[in-house]
Amino acid sequence: MAYSEKVIEHYENPRNVGSMDKEDPNVGTGLVGAPACGDVMRLQLKISDDGMIQDAKFKTFGCGSAIASSSLVTEWVKGKSVDDAVQITNKEIAKELSLPPVKIHCSVLAEDAIKAAIKDFQEKRAKRQGAATTPAVSPSTSTQP
Amino acid sequence: MTHFEIFGLAPALDLDVKALEQKLRDLSLEFHPDRFAQADARTRLAALEKTTALNDAFKVLKDPVRRAFYVLKLKGIDLENDAAAAKAKMPLEFLEEVMERREQLEALKAKRDVEKARAMADGIEKERSSALEQAKAALGRDDVNEAAHQLGRVKYFTRFVEEVEALEEEALS
């Protein structure tokens, strides 16, 4: 199958390949996969406390279209707010990369990865805030020997 | 007509591939385009289509993995081509395991450690066989969701083994 110029370009020079510390409270990790092709894609976003995406890294084991889709979204989300990043659709990704119909699921995967990473960040933050307020609500429990 | 019907078979997860091959030969002769060289265009075209369909069906049915995917498709889940079905979520723990193993393999590739990569592939081939058996059992009791899940695992394991095979070929050349 013929890949578009843009897919080849991203495949040969993938942007932002790598990983971040997934324990970092400001890092959201999205791990998604498509059983149709056996691909696995990890997208990590470093998000500031005010919800701006400062950095993005990805690691994808899959076909050229899956690699290009994830490489592209790391470029797109950087500098965006979380609210703007979740608006990115697979259609935009597929259009930018001129993906053929059989490869649309690669762009779906990339969209899902963004959403999963942001959800992970938000869940972490909620948990952290929950943990921070718990001792204040019930101070008596921690002092018991 | 389903691939099974073309061969006059009922849908089955286990097939005698030798017998299937014999049937392919018999049917191929029966519909061979040469036998219809004098026939009208419509008949010739029908014979040609039949031959193509036979070959396509054989390719799917002779391979136990593709056969299982096909039986699942007949039961309504097209895991290979349908985007919605393809999105069927694999559990996060499984994806983490896949990612971890692929990263290990990547490191072995960088070191050109074919032996360790083969050892990993051998282990994964066992897991693939067991996942395929579980998929077949699930298909047998019409549990299509479990079958789709197990066949999804089969797909991931297959992809891994293929990567190792590519590495081995590269090392030989």
Domain boundaries, chain B: 3-62, 83-172
Residues in chain A within 8 Å Cβ distance of B83: 36, 104-105, 108
With a pLDDT cut of 90, the percent of chain B lying above it is 76
The domain covering B3-62 belongs, at the CATH homologous superfamily level, to DnaJ domain (1.10.287.110)
Q: Kindly tell me if the per-residue pLDDT of A137 is higher than 50.
A: no
What's the whole-number mean pLDDT along residues A8-28?
94
Instruction: For residue A59, give Cα distances in angstroms to A25, A70, A143.
Output: 20, 8, 45
Contact state of B81 with A105 under an 8 Å Cβ cutoff? no
**Structural domains in chain A?**
5-125 (3.90.1010.10)
Q: Kindly tell me if the per-residue pLDDT of A28 is higher than 50.
A: yes
> Pairing mode, if any, of strands A53-61 and A27-34?
unpaired
| Distance, CA of B51 to CA of B60 (rounded, Å) | 15
Q: Kindly tell me if the per-residue pLDDT of A102 is higher than 70.
A: yes
Q: How confident is the model at residue B106 (pLDDT cuts 50, 70, 90)?
A: very high
Task: Give the ipTM.
Answer: 0.82
Residue A144: predicted pLDDT: 44
Any long-range contacts for A125-129 (C-beta under 8 Å, 24+ apart)? A125/A25, A128/A25
| Distance, CA of A8 to CA of B40 (rounded, Å) | 48
For an interface test with B, give the residue of A32, A37, A60, A61 to mutate (most B CBs within 10 A): A61
Instruction: For residue A46, give Cα distances in angstroms to A23, A61, A72.
Output: 11, 21, 16
Residue B36: predicted pLDDT: 86
Helix or strand run (H / E) with residue A63: none
- pLDDT tens column, B1-27: 999 999 999 999 999 999 999 999 999
- pLDDT tens column, B39-73: 898 988 888 899 999 999 999 999 999 999 999 99
Q: How confident is the model at residue B78 (pLDDT cuts 50, 70, 90)?
A: confident
> Is the CATH number 3.50.50.60 carried by domain B83-172?
no
With a pLDDT cut of 70, the percent of chain B lying above it is 95
First to last CA, chain A: 68
Q: Kindly tell me if the per-residue pLDDT of A69 is higher than 90.
A: yes
Residue B85: predicted pLDDT: 59
Q: Kindly tell me if the per-residue pLDDT of B89 is higher than 80.
A: no
Of A32, A36, A39, the CB nearest to B80: A36
A63: number of Cβ within 10 Å: 19
- pLDDT tens column, A33-49: 988 778 899 999 999 99
With a pLDDT cut of 90, the percent of chain A lying above it is 73
Residue A30: predicted pLDDT: 96
What's the whole-number mean pLDDT along residues A136-142?
45
Q: Among A28-37, A65-74, A111-120, which stretch is predicted with the lowest mean pLDDT? A: A28-37
| Distance, CA of B55 to CA of B52 (rounded, Å) | 5
Q: Among A25-29, A86-90, A134-138, B30-34, which stretch is predicted with the lowest mean pLDDT? A: A134-138
**Do residues A42 and A71 make contact, with C-beta atoms less than 8 angstroms apart?**
no
User: What six digits make up the tokens of A81?
Assistant: 């707010």
Residue A140: predicted pLDDT: 46
Q: Chain B interface residues facing chain A, Cβ-Cβ under 8 Å?
A: 79-81, 83, 85-88, 90, 92, 95-96, 98-99, 102-103, 106, 148, 151-153, 155-156, 158-160
